[in-house]
Homo-oligomer: A and B are copies of this chain.
Amino acid sequence: MTLVIALDAMGGDSAPGIVIDGAAKALRQTPGLRFLLFGDEARIAPLLDRHRDLAAASELRHTEVAVAPDAKPSQALRQGRRSSMRLAVEAVKAGEATAAVSAGNTGALMAMAKFVLKTLPGIDRPAIATLLPTRRDPVVMLDLGANVDCGPEHLFQFAVMGEVYARAVLDIAKPSVGLLNVGTEEVKGDSVVRAAAALIRDSGLAIDYYGFVEGGDVSEGRVHVVVTDGFTGNVALKITEGTARLFSSALRQAFRSSWRARLGYLLARPALDRMRERFDPRLYNGAMFLGLNGVVVKSHGGTDAVGFAAAIATAIQLVRQGTNERIIAEMNAAAGGVAGPKVVAS
């Protein structure tokens, strides 16, 4: 099967440059890929001249409309029908593309993806998931902000989707799943997380449910999948990124603070570069919109070509692993469990 990736060429701080460079990189990594590029032909065509292979593997569809980074989702939905973002999502709906990737406005992309693609059977709300580095394997965390108010059934659905996602992108046969909470004892937290825990335990699904995890367990890699509501997940993700930035800048400052420290840096540099690679946010780029009838991946708006290529690679992996088909199968099995003799706490 030829993989066709629809790209919102106008989304992201440095679009369309990083989108085209990123696509060229992705093509080198995965020969045989094809692209549908949506955006301003006058700006994209000159960029394609630098990448002959990409030009040959792409179809460029011109549109002058682009979603502003600060557009409200509702506004983008109404006014962005001919936008590069919307057309990329529509291409997935029409079956012309296997997946869509955009580095544009997250809220607008989620609104369009929900409106155009609809959710998978059994899934009430899509969630945003990403990978984060830990002391051990990377961890899948969701939801990262699509749903600020969540009920137990939503957290349960996130757990199912996150588990399938971890199997697909981390290649782990039986990923463990934890619910983020303020403590690990069963009595901790609010009624929503406690009811969600009961739903997962009683679902009849073969999920390796670990129990509650605390904030500190995320970076320890205590579980493969961390499930939380979109409010907490969004704060957690941005706190993690902020703390990493603070630490990095303090380290840079320390190495610049004296000639002795500068020399020390030069000596330790190969080791420090390897460490930086391990935590390179570009390698963790590509947040999946899970639970939609189609694969849509959101790249960080501020990423570069390497990061955008990583987002495309995530989309490819999700398609190849049949993530959505697996989610449908799990939700079917859960529905069977609920209808059966098992009592589901609520």
Contact = CB atoms under 8 A, between A and B. Distances in A.
* Copies of this chain held together in the complex: 2
A242 B263 contact: no
Q: Chain A binding site: helix, strand, loop or mixed by DSSP?
A: helix
Given A189-B148, A265-B268, A267-B261, A219 B246 contact: yes
B245 A272 contact: no
Interface in A135-157: 135, 145, 148-149
Contacts of A215: 234-242
Contact of A275 (B237, B245, B250, B267): B250
A251 to B, nearest CB: 7
A168 interface: no
Interface stretch (A4-12, A80-88, A93-101, A252-260): A252-260
Given A134-B246, A231-B232, A267 B264 contact: yes
A246 B135 contact: yes
Contacts of A258: 270-271
A79 B298 CA distance: 53
A264 B228 CA distance: 41
10 contacts: A182-B234, A216-B239, A216-B242, A219-B243, A219-B245, A232-B232, A254-B268, A255-B268, A258-B270, A264-B268
Interface of A: 72, 133-135, 145, 148-149, 180, 182, 187, 189-190, 214-220, 228, 230-232, 234-247, 249-251, 253-255, 257-258, 260-261, 263-272, 274-275, 278-279
